[in-house]
A and B are shown apart, each in its own frame.
Chain A
Amino acid sequence: MKPLEIKSLTKRYGRDRGVEDISFDIEQGEIFGYLGPNGAGKTTTIRCIMGLLRASSGSINVLGQKVKAGKATCHKCIGYLPGDFRIWGSLKAKRSLEVLAALGDSEISKKNRLELAEKLELNLDRKVWQLSKGNRQKVGLIYALQHEPEILILDEPTSGLDPLVSQVVLEIIREAAGNGATVLLSSHDLSEVSAVCGRAAILREGKLVELAPISTIVQEGHGQLKIWFVEGSAVPELPAEQLPGVREIKRKGLMLHLEYSGKVDAVLKWLGKYSVSRMSTPETSLEDAFMQYYSKDAGQQGGRA
């Protein structure tokens, strides 16, 4: 039994698309990235896992129990941070967290709450409305983590946080996973996903378009090559018909920056005709790979998040 199993999940909002035929599972102690642009269906999937939305079809199992909408299936064991964390503004952060903790396991929560507040450098005695967006997000993180959940579902956890605090948050997530928690990390910040996740799923227009280890996703991306030609020579034009799948990104002085898919052999053969001073292969990032999945439909995103 895996802590979180999703099978053929489909959620429609009337005629509108939510998500379609999503399947994946997460191992215990794994940090799983859930990627996609706004409107791809990340939040819809998460709300179905939380039983806030009723799935149109398919099934979700949390810790071996089938999720039923509105029945709080295994919620004592889940730490959830919504994408848009909003809490009672008139209450002190501490009081808000106490109230929410009391709806589960409040004994464990108190000690953890204080430790987490210290790590995140957050004053819990201030009223929520007085807190900045970043500090409110910290309250959300404490809310998700304070009861030592077995499953963590985090929707854009570092949204609104400065880079230093983001690092602390990622460290806390790593630590939780190290202690056996299963983490679903939804994000469109690719650097944080590549920093902490072992595997990731990429969602496009409600459908899963990739589900693989981060390293595989990166490898599947286009390769890049930077070539510097020797002084005095001209930078040649790219023979597009001879080099299918090769695209010029930039040309500056004696430098030519190319992007290629598949093997680099053909490019190297073509370069043999010219005097090359040096070459470099910029590392393909998750971001590059990610952009490929979206380049087709950029600007056409729709539906609910």
Chain B
Amino acid sequence: MKDTKVSFPFSLLRFWFWRILWLWMLVGFFIFIIQIIECFIAQDNDQIKLTLEILDKMPGFIKDAIGGELMQVGNTTGFIAMSYQHPLVLILYMVFAVCVPTGLLAGHVQSGAMELILSRSVTKNQVYICAVILTTLGMIALVMLMFLGTVTGVNMCEYSEQVRLWPFFRASIVGGLLSGTGAGVALFAAAVFRSRGRAIGLAVSFFIINYFVELIAEWWPKAEFLGPTSIFYYIDSAKVLFGENWPIGDMAVLFSISVVSIVAGGVIWNRRDLPL
């Protein structure tokens, strides 16, 4: 009889890595470029004034959503940080965070390939862990790439004031944790649903609802109490960029949401009948 021991499926991890690499590179490229562009905009006060004039003509929540009062002429760090919470950057993160786990789990269940994978020497838990590893490492790498974009941009430009890079590193980590919650929810959705469309629907809805809850809570005083229910509430740009310490409390909340979602997804995935 052959050896029946089940070892970790590194080959599946490798195979999936190559399948998601193009998406990671595409998202990473845009995030990297956006950081560099932002650094160039931030070195030109005329450009800053023009951007602020445009923003001032728009409803207040738009400016709030991408930096609020941090965006002022002379506050280069605040202005560069705009690209860390720009909706386009958030959407790019969301694309990766949602597409990867839903594609790897629900997508493979839907296409029938999961039945083949699970009929080989691979346990359901190992399959889930592979999806978690690739999603998590992909997100971490994107966060690092975003920071690298800022480092590259800052070194390419000349500023009237000295731009410290450390706050951006901190912002990258906190931003990464924020996206990580989305990825956690996407993993949960991917573990629960057979249809990739439904999994994407749940994960995207989570992001969008949270985003708008935060906007409404900031914009409408009567809805202020809703703020803590949104993941975006736990990102305080001023605290992250100019605070003395790491925002440990906020980071712990975001980290907990990710962990709980991932663990809950894992439990459901393990108990679920597949490929039904």
- A contact residues vs B (CB 8 Å cutoff): 13, 50-54, 63, 65, 69-78, 80, 82, 84-88, 99-100, 102-106, 143, 150, 304
Which A residues touch B120, using CB under 8 A?
72, 75, 100, 103-104
A93 to chain B, nearest CB (A): 13
A82 to B15, CA, bound (A): 22
Supply 30 A–B pairs (Cβ within 8 Å), ascending by A.
A52-B118, A63-B1, A63-B4, A65-B4, A70-B274, A71-B123, A72-B6, A72-B118, A72-B120, A72-B121, A73-B4, A74-B4, A75-B119, A76-B3, A76-B4, A76-B121, A78-B119, A82-B116, A82-B119, A85-B116, A86-B113, A86-B115, A86-B116, A87-B112, A87-B116, A103-B9, A103-B120, A104-B121, A106-B11, A143-B116
A65 to B123, CA, bound (A): 15
Which A residues touch B113, using CB under 8 A?
86-88
From 232 to 276 in chain B, residues with beta carbon under 8 angstroms from any chain A beta carbon are 270-271, 273-276
A50 to chain B, nearest CB (A): 5
A103 to B126, CA, bound (A): 12
Nearest chain B residue, comparing its CB with the CB of A63: B1
Known A54-B273, A86-B112; judge A80-B6 contact (CB<8 A). no
A272 to chain B, nearest CB (A): 60
Known A53-B276, A86-B111, A88-B113; judge A70-B118 contact (CB<8 A). yes
From 5 to 47 in chain B, residues with beta carbon under 8 angstroms from any chain A beta carbon are 6, 9, 11-12, 15
* Structural contact, A100 and B112, CB atoms closer than 8 A: no
Our count of residue pairs bridging A and B at CB distance below 8 angstroms stands at: 94
Partner of B116, one of A100, A102, A150: A100
B135 to chain A, nearest CB (A): 20
Nearest chain B residue, comparing its CB with the CB of A68: B123
> Top 10 nearest A-B pairs by Cβ distance?
A86-B112, A70-B124, A103-B120, A102-B11, A80-B119, A104-B121, A75-B121, A76-B121, A53-B273, A74-B4
B257 to chain A, nearest CB (A): 26
A150 to B111, CA, bound (A): 28
Most A CB within 10 A of own CB, among B111, B271, B273: B273
Known A65-B4, A74-B4; judge A103-B123 contact (CB<8 A). no
Which B residues touch A73, using CB under 8 A?
4
List 10 additional contacts besides A53-B274, A100-B117; criterion CB under 8 Å: A13-B273, A52-B119, A75-B4, A77-B4, A82-B119, A85-B112, A86-B113, A99-B15, A102-B11, A105-B2
Nearest chain A residue, comparing its CB with the CB of B10: A102
A143 to chain B, nearest CB (A): 7
Partner of A103, one of B122, B271, B273: B122
Q: Is B125 an interface residue (CB 8 A)?
A: yes
Per-residue A-contact encoding for B93-121, CB less than 8 Å = 1, 0 else: 00000000000000000011101111111
Which A residues touch B274, using CB under 8 A?
52-53, 70
Known A72-B122, A72-B123; judge A82-B1 contact (CB<8 A). no
Which A residues touch B276, using CB under 8 A?
13, 53, 304
Which A residues touch B119, using CB under 8 A?
50, 52, 75, 78, 80, 82
B107 to chain A, nearest CB (A): 11
A88 to B3, CA, bound (A): 28
* Structural contact, A76 and B2, CB atoms closer than 8 A: yes
A111 to B117, CA, bound (A): 21
B118 to chain A, nearest CB (A): 6
B126 to chain A, nearest CB (A): 8
Known A63-B4, A84-B112; judge A103-B121 contact (CB<8 A). yes
A201 to B98, CA, bound (A): 46
B157 to chain A, nearest CB (A): 42
Which B residues touch A85, using CB under 8 A?
112, 116
Which B residues touch A76, using CB under 8 A?
2-4, 121
Which B residues touch A13, using CB under 8 A?
273, 276
A74 to B11, CA, bound (A): 19
Which A residues touch B11, using CB under 8 A?
99, 102-103, 106
Which A residues touch B121, using CB under 8 A?
72, 75-76, 103-104
Which A residues touch B2, using CB under 8 A?
76-77, 105, 150
Which B residues touch A63, using CB under 8 A?
1, 4
B179 to chain A, nearest CB (A): 28
B115 to chain A, nearest CB (A): 5
B235 to chain A, nearest CB (A): 37
Known A52-B273, A70-B124, A103-B12; judge A82-B115 contact (CB<8 A). yes
* Structural contact, A70 and B270, CB atoms closer than 8 A: yes
Which B residues touch A53, using CB under 8 A?
273-274, 276
